[in-house]
Homo-oligomer: A and B are copies of this chain.
Amino acid sequence: MNTKQNDPANREVSKPTLRRLPVYLNYLKTQAALGKKTISATAVAAALGLNEVQVRKDLSAASKSGGRPKTGYNIVRLMADLEDFLGYRSTKEAILVGVGQLGSSLLSFSGFEACGMRIAAAFDNDPNKIGTEISGIRIYNIQDLPYICKLIHVHIGIITTKPDQAQNVCNTMLDGGIRAIWNFSTAHLETPENVIVHNENLAVSLAMISHDLEAMLQQEEGKDDTQ
């Protein structure tokens, strides 16, 4: 059993910190792959373009190992702490609905297991897909969803359908006891308050990139004009 200290839900951590932790982990993996044994908060901050104080604070929220004054953090130990904190070592099951191109690509994506998630079953309404498998994951009839969800006590549902089907699928998932929805469709979903919805919206990323790029190019044009 987990001790209270290792239980993510028992530790207060802000959303921005939570967003940065997998980024630290990722960076530590590249450093470990290069053969490095220890790393300082200063080096992490410089590599990721973050504030050093912020990095120390973030890491101390997730890890009790601590950095030593001269050598810094033990990389392997820090990675293990981050993985524990992020729940990567306790597998959570999920189901996926909508086995189109994006759905198939998520079913074959090998990166989820490293993050402690396993897609246990997939669903579609296409008779040609029902009964087949992708990367060992069986595709069931969408009508069987509530029964299968209850059977395996799964809490996370991934929606990769077309936008016009997403709300119906969401409702079916809630009937099956799903409590957290990872929405890859562009549809806005209506859900009760006790359900978590995380929208994976590529339009949001694109808006950020376009805005930053435009601002940067304009600033450079402005500089050229005055030189």
Binding site for B on A (CB under 8 A): 7-10, 13, 15, 18-19, 21-23, 25-27, 30, 47-48, 86-87, 92, 101-102, 104-105, 108-109, 111-112, 114-117, 155-156, 179-180, 182, 186-188, 190, 194, 196, 198-218, 220
Contacts and interface: CB of A to CB of B under 8 A. Distances in A.
Contacts of A23: 188, 199, 201, 204
A226 to B, nearest CB: 17
Contact of A214 (B87, B109, B194, B200): B87
A26 B210 contact: no
A188 to B, nearest CB: 5
A210 B19 contact: no
Give the top 6 A-B pairs by smallest Cβ distance, nearest first. A9-B214, A180-B213, A9-B215, A22-B203, A101-B105, A9-B218
A209 B180 CA distance: 7
30 contacts: A9-B211, A9-B217, A13-B211, A15-B208, A19-B208, A21-B207, A22-B201, A22-B207, A26-B186, A26-B187, A26-B188, A30-B188, A47-B190, A48-B188, A86-B210, A86-B211, A87-B210, A101-B105, A104-B105, A105-B105, A115-B207, A156-B209, A156-B213, A179-B216, A179-B217, A180-B212, A196-B213, A198-B205, A198-B209, A198-B212
Nearest to A206: B115
Contacts of A114: 203
A185 to B, nearest CB: 10
A48 B201 CA distance: 15
Q: Is the interface of A mostly helix, strand, loop or mixed?
A: helix
A206 B158 CA distance: 11
Contacts of A30: 187-188
B179 A205 contact: no
Contacts of A22: 201, 203-204, 207
B188 A216 contact: no
A186 B194 CA distance: 31
B19 A86 contact: no
